[in-house]
Amino acid sequence: MNLKLKIWRQKDAKDAGRMVDYNISDVSPDMSFLEMLDVLNEDLNNKGEDPVAFDHDCREGICGMCSLHINGEPHGPDRGITTCQLHMRKFKDGDTIYIEPFRAKAFPVIKDLVVNRSAFDRIQQAGGFISVNTSGNTQDANAIPIQKHNADLAFDAATCIGCGACVASCKNASAMLFVSAKVSQFALLPQGRIEATERVLNMVKKMDEEGFGNCTNTGACEVECPKGISLENIARMNREYLFASLK
């Protein structure tokens, strides 16, 4: 396949940034999207030009490092996958592909397609810890009865990889889906109930401080989330927040 790429180039956080055109040829449909960018970068390197900076690590949909807004969608046109799992067979010969960073005030651009998502780390840090008795009288976790339904919901919430696609897809740049997944994975388990009040209050406060927008129930986040995190988690977080505020 021969493709035309329009890629966001931005030298650093202060640079205004702009779209730059590149042509790439002989792209195999079996390549991953990031491998296609690797080929482009090799070519730029060989020509002595600055390669395009983009985030990645595991390249198997686990770590949450890869990002990219591809043709207007976080993680591109496929569903239930991260950018590293997107394959070039999703595109046609002659296509023009627009590649931009995840855009949100709380995710400032570092360079080109790399954004700073450390606001997510600070929200998780604000959530604190869970109390586990390690005094020698520790109860075997398997001996604590948990309803199967709740265990499954907690596990589903815990599959959030913190990629930020929910924020990038939201017209308000809201982080509610991410934060609600992190609140829910503990709120649904007895081990997480001990600090549940402080956790939800502190995480929501931090989320607001970091400059994320409010949720207006558009639902784009759920559609674009590579892990299928459900909007039900936002409803659960709102209930947790309400009860915590009344205590």
Q: Which residues bind ligand SF4 (CB under 6 A)?
A: 160-166, 177-178, 181, 225-227, 229
Residue 165 interacts with which of ligand FES, ligand SF4, none, CB < 5 to 8 Å by class: ligand SF4
Nearest to 24 by CA among 51, 4, 41: 4
Residue 40 interacts with which of ligand SF4, ligand FES, none, CB < 5 to 8 Å by class: none
Task: Give kind and range of the element (H or E) at residue 73.
Answer: strand 73-74
Structure tokens belonging to residue 74: 């976080």
Nearest to 169 by CA among 102, 79, 115, 121: 102
When the beta carbons of 106 and 160 are compared against ligand FES, the nearer one is 160
Residue with tokens 């030009």: 49
Residue 227 interacts with which of ligand FES, ligand SF4, none, CB < 5 to 8 Å by class: ligand SF4
Report the nearest approach of ligand SF4 to the CB of residue 202 (Å): 19
Report the nearest approach of ligand FES to the CB of residue 232 (Å): 24
When the beta carbons of 161 and 188 are compared against ligand FES, the nearer one is 161
* Residues in touch with ligand FES (CB under 6 A): 56-59, 61-66, 82-84
Residue with tokens 């799992």: 85
94: left (phi over 0), alpha (psi -120 to 50) or beta: left
